[in-house]
Amino acid sequence: MRRSLVAGNWKMHGRSSNAARLAAGVRDGLPAECGAEVVLCPPFPHLPVAADRLEGGRVRLGAQDVCEREDGAHTGEVSAEMLVDAGCAFVIVGHSERRSLYGETDDVVARKYLRARQAGLTPILCLGESLGEREAGSTRRVVERQLTAVAEHCGEEAFRSGVVAYEPVWAIGTGRTATPEQAQDVHAFIRSLLSARWGELASGVRILYGGSVKAGNAERLFSMPDVDGGLIGGASLDADEFIRICALSG
C-alpha cells in the first residue's frame, strides 16, 4: 500500500513573513486524521524560517532544486548536503520550468536526482509533455525519454521508494487540469515502464499528479488507482486550500 504524498511547490513567491505564516498555517491546520505525507517546498531563502515553523511536526520540508555537483566553487548553486543541513527531506528535480526556462537537460536532471539520493534526500522527479507534444501524440515517447534518462543514470537503488510527479506542461498554472482519466493513463504507463525494468519495485514508487490541482478537482484525481497524491503549485500558497487538498488525498 503506497502512502499518499502531497507536496506544495511555492515556486518564486512570497517573503519570509509569508513563508512563516504559511508554514505555521499548514502545520496547525492539517487534520490529525489526514494520513498523507505532506511536504512544503519554499524558495531557498525561506527554508530556515519554514524549518523553524515545521520543527517537530509532521509536515516535512523540501526544496525546489539542487545542484548536480558536490560542494565547491559553483557560484549561485546550492548543494544537496546544504539542503539536508537546512532541514530538507525532499527536493523537486526536473521541474518543467527548470527544463524550459533554465535549459536543464535530461542528463542534468538525472545527475541532480542521483546527487540528491546520495545525500539522503528523496527527489521528486518531474516529467511531462508540452501541449504540442500531446497534440502530436508524443506524450508517451516524451515521458519515457525523461524517465529512462534518470533510470539509466541512477539505477534501481535510487528508485527504491522513489517519487515521480507527472506534470503535463499544458496544465501547469493554466487552470486546465488533466482529466482523471488522462492522468491515470500516463501514471499507469510510468508504472509499467518501471515495472518492465525493475519488476516489483514499481509498486512502491509514488506517482504524483501536478498541474492546476485545486480542492475542487483533487478528489477525482486522487481516486485514480495510480495517482498517489499531488504536486501543488498555486493552490499551495493558500494554507486552507492546501490543507483541503491534503485531506482529500488520504
Q: How far is the CB of 161 from ligand 13P (least distance, A)?
A: 20
Q: Does 246 bind ligand 13P (CB under 6 A)?
A: no
- The residue number whose beta carbon is nearest to ligand 13P equals 233
153 is catalytic: no
Q: Does 229 bind ligand 13P (CB under 6 A)?
A: no
φ, ψ dihedrals at 140, nearest 5°: -65, -40
* Of residues 186 and 232, the one with the C-beta less far from ligand 13P: 232
167 is catalytic: yes
Stretch that binds ligand 13P, among 27-35, 83-91, 131-139, 228-236 (CB under 6 A): 228-236
Number of residues that bind ligand 13P (CB under 6 A): 14
Q: Does 172 bind ligand 13P (CB under 6 A)?
A: yes
Nine cell digits for residue 138 = 508524443
Nine cell digits for residue 68 = 548536480
> Are 210 and 172 a contacting pair, CB within 8 Å?
yes
Q: Does 9 bind ligand 13P (CB under 6 A)?
A: yes
Q: How far is the CB of 9 from ligand 13P (least distance, A)?
A: 4
Instruction: Estimate the crossing angle of helix 139-159 against helix 180-198, to 10 degrees.
Output: 50
φ, ψ dihedrals at 154, nearest 5°: -100, -30
Q: How far is the CB of 236 from ligand 13P (least distance, A)?
A: 7
The contact pattern for ligand 13P, residues 183-222, with x = CB under 6 A and - = no contact, is: ---------------------------xxxx---------
* Of residues 184 and 212, the one with the C-beta less far from ligand 13P: 212
Q: How far apart are CA 250 and CA 239, in angstroms?
A: 18
Q: Does 173 bind ligand 13P (CB under 6 A)?
A: yes
Q: How far apart are CA 60 and CA 40, in angstroms?
A: 6
Q: Does 167 bind ligand 13P (CB under 6 A)?
A: yes
Residue among 234, 241, 245, 249 that touches ligand 13P (CB under 6 A) = 234
Nine cell digits for residue 158 = 535510487
Catalytic option among 95, 104, 133, 187 = 95
Residue ranges of alpha helices (H) inside the chain are: 16-29, 47-54, 80-85, 96-101, 106-118, 131-135, 139-159, 180-198, 215-222, 239-248
Q: How far apart are CA 113 and CA 153, in angstroms?
A: 9
CB count in 10 Å sphere of residue 84:
16
Residue among 67, 110, 231, 243 that touches ligand 13P (CB under 6 A) = 231
Q: How far is the CB of 92 from ligand 13P (least distance, A)?
A: 7
Q: How far apart are CA 14 and CA 138, in angstroms?
A: 36
List residues with catalytic annotation.
95, 167
Residues at the interface with ligand 13P (CB under 6 A): 9, 95, 167, 172-173, 210-213, 231-235
